[in-house]
């Protein structure tokens, strides 16, 4: 059992490391959380002290453990159709506008991005919403729809890619969608059943590891970007940098969604406020 206390100077070093590499701001109030997460990594690796662990993860040859470290400090609270107002907006306004524009352009290409996708509930919810809309409103058109889902944590991405969820997790999914897009399968334990997302959801959703501060290995543009409950982990300068980079990948008329506890107030972004947590790129 690790009994060591994380000293202030070392906390500041870990905090600076996280900020420099991932842009995440760990203020003093996060010290106890960081100590608890570090203790788990010490037990997992057999490293004896926080100082030794810091020295270990800052060596280039130990990048794999550094990624485990970032995984450990990431907070991943999510569930299907979280903040459902966004999905209602997608159905009632964003998607009808996208369809109208694409028809005028003679294009069938629709791209969306779920940034900070966690264990997959958000992107799979988006996919269900979009596929249902296309099936009901434009059944005559075969849309080229893809959804990019990214996260800094390899651990949560593995869960998302598997697409297996407990009964409790899928209870939030409306019954008709649950029946249509999930299959009940045998779990890893005898007598345990889990729910697997349908192949069509996996076909349209592409999961990739991405540190939002790193160069983006894609070109866009995206008609809709979900970046919900992500900005709260960054300080204002990092928020400013990220919002300008991310919105440069948003198509004119495209929508940018943030969490309902977040705001872009005080940031320069060139987006028009539409309603709480929804912004639009005009040009």
Residue 257 has pLDDT above 90, yes or no: yes
- Which of 272, 229, 242 has its CA nearest to residue 116? 229
d(CA 65, CA 178): 37
d(CA 140, CA 142): 7
Tell me the average pLDDT across 227-240: 86
Residue 191 has pLDDT above 80, yes or no: no
Residue 2 has pLDDT above 60, yes or no: no
H or E element that contains 256: strand 250-258
Determine the number of helices (DSSP H) and then strands (DSSP E) in the chain.
Answer: 12, 10
Q: Name the H helices within 163-231.
A: 167-170, 175-181, 199-204
Least trusted range by pLDDT, from 30-34, 44-48, 242-246, 276-280: 30-34
- pLDDT bin (cut points 50, 70, 90) of residue 1 is very low
Helix, strand, or coil (residue 279): strand
The pLDDT, as a whole number, for residue 3 is: 60
pLDDT in tens, 66-84: 888 887 877 666 889 988 9
Tokens, residue 205:
């959703």
CB atoms within 10 A of CB 162: 14
pLDDT in tens, 146-167: 999 999 888 889 999 999 999 9
pLDDT in tens, 26-66: 888 888 888 988 998 898 899 999 999 999 999 988 888 88
Domains and CATH numbers, the chain: 8-73 (1.10.155.10), 85-163+197-281 (3.40.50.150)
Tokens, residue 104:
């005028």
The pLDDT, as a whole number, for residue 155 is: 84
Which residues form the catalytic set?
Answer: 37, 151
User: Which residues sit opposite 224 in a β-bridge?
Assistant: 112, 255
pLDDT in tens, 96-112: 999 999 999 999 999 99
d(CA 274, CA 258): 12
The pLDDT, as a whole number, for residue 206 is: 98
Q: Is 116 left (phi over 0), alpha (psi -120 to 50) or beta?
A: left
For residue 218, the 8-state DSSP code is -
Tell me the average pLDDT across 241-258: 95
For residue 265, the 8-state DSSP code is T
């Amino acid at each position: 059992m690790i009994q060591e206390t994380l000293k202030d100077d070392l906390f500041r070093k870990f905090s600076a490391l996280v900020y420099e590499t991932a842009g995440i701001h760990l203020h003093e109030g996060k010290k106890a959380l960081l100590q608890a997460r570090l203790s788990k990594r010490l037990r997992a690796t057999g490293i004896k002290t926080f100082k030794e662990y810091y020295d270990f993860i800052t060596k280039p040859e130990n990048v794999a453990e550094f990624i485990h470290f970032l995984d450990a400090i990431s907070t991943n609270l999510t569930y299907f159709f979280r903040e459902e107002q966004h999905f209602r907006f997608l159905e009632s306004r964003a998607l009808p506008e996208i369809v109208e524009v694409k028809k005028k352009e003679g294009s069938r290409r629709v791209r969306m991005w779920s940034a900070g996708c966690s264990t997959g509930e958000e992107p799979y919810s988006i996919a269900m919403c979009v596929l249902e809309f296309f099936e009901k409103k434009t059944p005559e058109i075969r849309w080229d729809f893809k959804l990019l889902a990214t996260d800094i944590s390899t651990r949560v991405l593995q869960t998302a890619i598997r697409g297996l969820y407990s009964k409790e997790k899928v209870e939030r999914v409306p019954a008709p969608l649950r029946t249509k897009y999930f299959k009940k399968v045998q779990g890893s334990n005898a007598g345990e059943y889990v729910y697997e997302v349908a192949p069509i959801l996996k076909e349209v959703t592409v999961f990739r590891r991405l540190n939002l501060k790193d160069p983006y290995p894609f070109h866009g543009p995206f008609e809709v970007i979900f970046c919900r409950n992500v900005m709260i982990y960054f300080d204002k300068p990092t928020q400013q940098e990220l919002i300008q980079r991310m919105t440069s990948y948003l198509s004119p008329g495209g929508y940018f969604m943030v969490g309902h506890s977040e705001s872009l107030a005080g940031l320069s972004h060139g987006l028009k406020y539409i309603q709480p947590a929804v912004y639009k790129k005009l040009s």
